[in-house]
């Protein structure tokens, strides 16, 4: 009887595994086609100055609306794109499409794009991005590249060369999801950044976690002593905004300030985000 139960369990896991593999293959095939058709498009989330409430720029976030399945999250398809060698092509499309939109914005509004850890292992990445910028005619000074901490681990030297090359050309470099990767502080010694982005997980626990408050306050001070800008991600509550502004965090992003939107036409009379009350 026990033996039969065991066999049934194995069969159950085989079924589950088969489903996972099938789903993974489905995404890979559909993703290939979506990239071929240019179905993956940027949406734009504002980065806002917390003291003046002005929009400083927008982060481009990849969106895939599948004809049958509906919206598929980048958390699902970016890892697949990384695994099957599609990430550079996807990233190129995103950069071209996003700069095509951003070129019509006022000069002082910047554009941020995310770069995958896999791309950062490529010694030629800096050159590729700068060539693409030159081809599109988008000014490097208006572009910011966001790098996640985990990207730096694989090959810190290649990554820091790329960061140096981009910054020398005028592109800003932000360290994304700061605080969640390994050996965060060592990264600050190895590479020069223009901005630290405080991960959403710290921001969303500000109201009920004393340790999160200590960490966020410390990251803001850390960025100040490095002379770099600091952006808090994932601000959803007025209370979070008040705490961050009180600690001197200059910039923020989050549903409270603006969701990612397709924004084919930008109305820059709304350069100042809707006034918000500091307390709920």
Binding residues vs ligand C2E (CB under 6 A): 45, 61-62, 73-75, 78, 91, 94, 114-116, 146, 176-177, 200, 233-236, 253-255, 260
Please report how close the Cβ of residue 117 comes to Mg ion at its closest, in angstroms: 13
Partner from Mg ion, ligand C2E, none binding residue 53, C-beta < 5-8 Å depending on class: none
Please report how close the Cβ of residue 24 comes to ligand C2E at its closest, in angstroms: 17
Residue 247, number of CB atoms within 10 A of its CB: 17
> Residue 176 or 251: which CB sits closer to Mg ion?
176
Instruction: Give 39-108 as a 3 state SS string.
Output: CEEEEEEEEEECCCCEEEEEEEEEEEEECCCEEECHHHHHHHHHHCCCHHHHHHHHHHHHHHHHCCCCCC
> Residue 167 or 195: which CB sits closer to Mg ion?
195
Partner from ligand C2E, Mg ion, none binding residue 145, C-beta < 5-8 Å depending on class: none
Please report how close the Cβ of residue 168 comes to ligand C2E at its closest, in angstroms: 22
Q: Characterize the bridge pairing of strands 40-49 and 55-66.
A: antiparallel
Partner from ligand C2E, Mg ion, none binding residue 117, C-beta < 5-8 Å depending on class: none
Please report how close the Cβ of residue 62 comes to ligand C2E at its closest, in angstroms: 4
Residue closest to ligand C2E (Cβ)? 254
> Residue 146 or 251: which CB sits closer to Mg ion?
146
> Residue 2 or 75: which CB sits closer to ligand C2E?
75
Identify the bridge partners of residue 113 per DSSP, sorted by sequence position: 145
Please report how close the Cβ of residue 176 comes to Mg ion at its closest, in angstroms: 4
Instruction: Give the chain as a 3 state SS string.
Output: CHHHHHHHHHHHHHHHHHHHHHHHHHHHHHHHHHHHHCCEEEEEEEEEECCCCEEEEEEEEEEEEECCCEEECHHHHHHHHHHCCCHHHHHHHHHHHHHHHHCCCCCCCEEEEEECHHHHCCCCHHHHHHHHHHHHCCCHHHEEEEEECHHHHHCHHHHHHHHHHHHHCCCEEEEEEECCCCCHHHHHHHCCCCEEEECHHHHCCCCCCHHHHHHHHHHHHHHHHHCCEEEECCCCCHHHHHHHHHCCCCEECECCCECCECCCCCCHHHCECCCCCCCC
Q: Which residues bind Mg ion (CB under 5 A)?
A: 114, 146, 176-177, 200, 233
Partner from Mg ion, ligand C2E, none binding residue 55, C-beta < 5-8 Å depending on class: none
> Residue 44 or 105: which CB sits closer to ligand C2E?
44
Please report how close the Cβ of residue 175 comes to Mg ion at its closest, in angstroms: 9
Partner from ligand C2E, Mg ion, none binding residue 34, C-beta < 5-8 Å depending on class: none
Partner from Mg ion, ligand C2E, none binding residue 73, C-beta < 5-8 Å depending on class: ligand C2E
Please report how close the Cβ of residue 9 comes to ligand C2E at its closest, in angstroms: 35
> Residue 177 or 251: which CB sits closer to Mg ion?
177
> Residue 93 or 148: which CB sits closer to Mg ion?
148
């Amino acid at each position: 009887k026990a033996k039969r139960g065991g066999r049934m369990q194995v069969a159950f896991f085989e079924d589950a595994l088969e489903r996972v593999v099938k789903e993974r293959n489905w995404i890979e095939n559909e993703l290939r086609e979506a990239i071929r058709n240019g179905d993956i498009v940027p949406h734009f989330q504002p980065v806002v100055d917390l003291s003046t409430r002005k929009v400083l720029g927008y982060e481009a976030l990849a969106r895939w609306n599948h004809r049958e399945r509906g919206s598929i999250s980048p958390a699902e398809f970016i890892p697949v794109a990384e695994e099957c060698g599609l990430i550079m092509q996807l990233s190129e499309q995103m950069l071209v499409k996003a700069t095509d939109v951003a070129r019509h914005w006022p000069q002082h509004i910047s554009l941020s794009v995310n770069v995958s850890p896999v791309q950062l292992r490529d010694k030629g990445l800096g050159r590729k991005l700068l060539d693409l910028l030159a081809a599109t005619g988008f000014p490097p000074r208006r572009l910011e590249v966001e790098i996640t901490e985990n990207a730096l681990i694989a090959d810190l030297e290649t990554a820091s060369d790329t960061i140096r090359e981009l910054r020398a050309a005028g592109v800003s470099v932000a360290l994304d999801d700061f605080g969640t990767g390994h050996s965060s502080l060592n990264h600050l010694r190895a590479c020069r950044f223009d901005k630290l982005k405080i991960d959403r997980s710290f921001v969303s626990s500000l109201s009920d976690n004393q340790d999160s408050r200590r960490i966020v306050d410390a990251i803001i001070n850390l960025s100040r002593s490095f002379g770099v800008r600091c952006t808090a991600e994932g601000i959803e509550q007025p209370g979070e905004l008040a705490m961050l502004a009180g600690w001197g965090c200059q910039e923020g992003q989050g549903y409270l300030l603006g969701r990612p939107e397709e924004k084919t036409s930008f109305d820059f009379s709304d350069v100042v985000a809707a006034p918000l009350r500091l307390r709920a």
